[in-house]
Structure 1
Amino acid sequence: MSRVLITGASGLVGGHLLRLLNDEPRIETIVAPSRRPLAPMKKMFNPHDPQLTDALAQATEPVDIVFCCLGTTRREAGSKEAFVHADFTLVVDTGLTGLRLGATHMLVVSAMGANAHSPFFYNRVKGEMEETLRAQGWPRLTIARPSMLLGHRNKKRFNESLFAPLFSLLPGKWKAIHARDVALAMFQDAMTGGKPGVTILESAELREKAQLAAR
């Protein structure tokens, strides 16, 4: 039986992942800190606070696995500083909380093109986040780098609405991927044994894992 911590459970990937975890008999408990209350689930403990860091501090019981599905855009965040807080600081805080609670495997949603040395702000922040999680010394770290995410959002993102048809036609890792496939691939990776160290799953690999898991 496994105990998990998840942040970003109200988001596009996180919502699918939360349901998978709740339905899985091998999952004993789910700790899901959030800014706003989540709909109750039988296995879930949901500490919530407008400051997610304060909600994370309320998690005290041991966990085995950490999932981080936090992510926004600069437009949604409202400023560069707010974006960095959401996509870097809170992700790093999620990792530190997992380590504090004894977890040995962290899985995180990053982005295609993440690179700490990128000239593009979004990709650079994602890359810096990945490097910081690596430096935390996780026995096992899985980084998912999806292309454009498909799925229903309560609030539409302009760029995704505009470019989704194009990205759906692209090959390999560039091809748009449904959020449920990212969630299923991360779930599958967590529930099966894997090699120690860092594993990077690009969109094509995420899609393959999801297809195998769905059979």
Structure 2
Amino acid sequence: MSQVLITGATGLVGGHLLRMLIQTREVTSIAAPTRRPLDPTPRVFNPYDPQLTDALAQVTDPVDIVFCCLGTTRREAGSKEAFIHADYTLVVDTALTGLRLGAKHMLVVSSMGANARSPFFYNQVKGKMEDALKAQRWEHLTIARPSMLLGDRTKHRFNESLMAPLFRLLPGNLKSINARDVATAMLVTALSPAQEGVTVLSSAQLREIAEREKE
């Protein structure tokens, strides 16, 4: 892995991942298109535009791997349509950009419970997003499905802060997970020999990978 494309770099998981990528010797260049500008950083190409698709179009150099950490909530997005645009359309646009630029491996943050046939709107959109990426027939596709994410957000999410104490006590995949651990697990997976086809990492597996990295 040397040339990287990442979207969602201003978010909770993506922010951690971008900082890790900058410090990773195997990474020689990073394209991080965003909707609002990042602080100038060596080796990071940051085209930005409120329409992320327009910023993605400015990435023209080849990439080896794609990380997509885009994600919001219906409340934050403001409507069902805006949520679908953020969590489905822009994710698919990220993937298409990566394929156009020659990437062989994509890693994407989805969600526990993602299922296109789910009765729950959030999980349904996440599931449809996963199905759309699978239909692109990536050589390697890694789907991370974390539980509730913990970390310092720029925007306060009331429901998450209310439920966080409970989710810390739950077992297995239900237990909440630190956003930094998700980023760590994604980077470790990207640096490891990739399995052919689709790999789904549950929240418990993401935590285990991150914990091994700390040892």
Give the secondary structure class of the aligned counterpart of 1:107.
strand
Q: Match for 1:24: what amino acid?
A: T
Paired residue for 2:18? Answer: 18
CA distance in 2, matches of 1:195, 1:14: 23
Q: Match for 2:123: what amino acid?
A: N
Give the secondary structure class of the aligned counterpart of 1:71.
coil
CA deviations 1:19-67 (Å, max 9, x no partner) are: 0000001000000000111012111000111100000000000000000
Residue 9 in structure 1 maps to residue 9 in structure 2: yes
Give the secondary structure class of the aligned counterpart of 2:160.
helix
Q: How many residues align?
A: 215
Residue 161 in structure 1 maps to residue 161 in structure 2: yes
CA deviations 1:78-135 (Å, max 9, x no partner) are: 0000000000000000000000000000000000000000010000000000000000
Give the secondary structure class of the aligned counterpart of 1:200.
strand
Give the secondary structure class of the aligned counterpart of 1:14.
helix
Give the secondary structure class of the aligned counterpart of 1:132.
helix
CA distance in 2, matches of 1:180, 1:77: 23
Paired residue for 2:55? Answer: 55
CA distance in 2, matches of 1:16, 1:40: 16
Give the secondary structure class of the aligned counterpart of 1:27.
coil
Q: Match for 2:16: what amino acid?
A: H
* Runs of 5+ unmatched residues, structure 2: none
Give the secondary structure class of the aligned counterpart of 2:28.
strand
For residue 214 of structure 1, report the CA deviation from its aligned partner.
2.0
Paired residue for 1:185? Answer: 185
For residue 155 of structure 1, report the CA deviation from its aligned partner.
1.1
CA distance in 2, matches of 1:204, 1:88: 24
Paired residue for 2:29? Answer: 29
CA distance in 1, matches of 2:12, 2:106: 19
CA distance in 2, matches of 1:154, 1:4: 25
Instruction: Give 1:1-215 correspondences, 5 Å limit.
Output: 2-215=2-215
CA distance in 2, matches of 1:36, 1:76: 16
Q: What is the TM-score of this pair, normalised by structure 1?
A: 0.99
Q: Match for 1:203: what amino acid?
A: S
For residue 194 of structure 1, report the CA deviation from its aligned partner.
2.3
Q: What is the TM-score of this pair, normalised by structure 2?
A: 0.99
RMSD: 0.6
Decide which moves more: 122-131 or 194-203.
Answer: 194-203
Give the secondary structure class of the aligned counterpart of 2:29.
strand
* Runs of 5+ unmatched residues, structure 1: none
Extract structure 1 runs of 4+ deviating beyond 3 A. Answer: none
For residue 75 of structure 1, report the CA deviation from its aligned partner.
0.2
Q: Match for 2:128: what amino acid?
A: E
CA distance in 2, matches of 1:140, 1:213: 22
